[in-house]
Amino acid sequence: MYTRIVDDDGTRHGISHDQTIHLMVFPDGDNEIFQRHAIKCGITGEVSKQVTWLVGSLNGVKLYCMEDGKFVMTTREINP
């Protein structure tokens, strides 16, 4: 999970609870920070884990911060 903060100047921050990811999006246009959630199920349908990504968006370009430390930058909508 992530904490989202907006500064007085409009800068948006997304910070992971373990402080390993700190994403900043400056107010240079249409921007937001949000979380994307998914529940991964096993073969028999039982819930195996919940996945949460932090997503920063600036002028239609999204930066997806995934749980395994990988990042994807794209204009596409993708899900965990």
What is the average pLDDT value for the chain, to the nearest integer?
88
pLDDT tens, 31-46?
A: 999 999 888 887 777 7
Task: State the average pLDDT over residues 20-41.
Answer: 89
CA dihedral 71, 74, 76, 80 (to 10 degrees): 0
Note the pLDDT of residue 42. 76
Cα–Cα distance for residue pair 53/18, rounded to 1 Å: 14
The two tokens of residue 32 are 């937001």
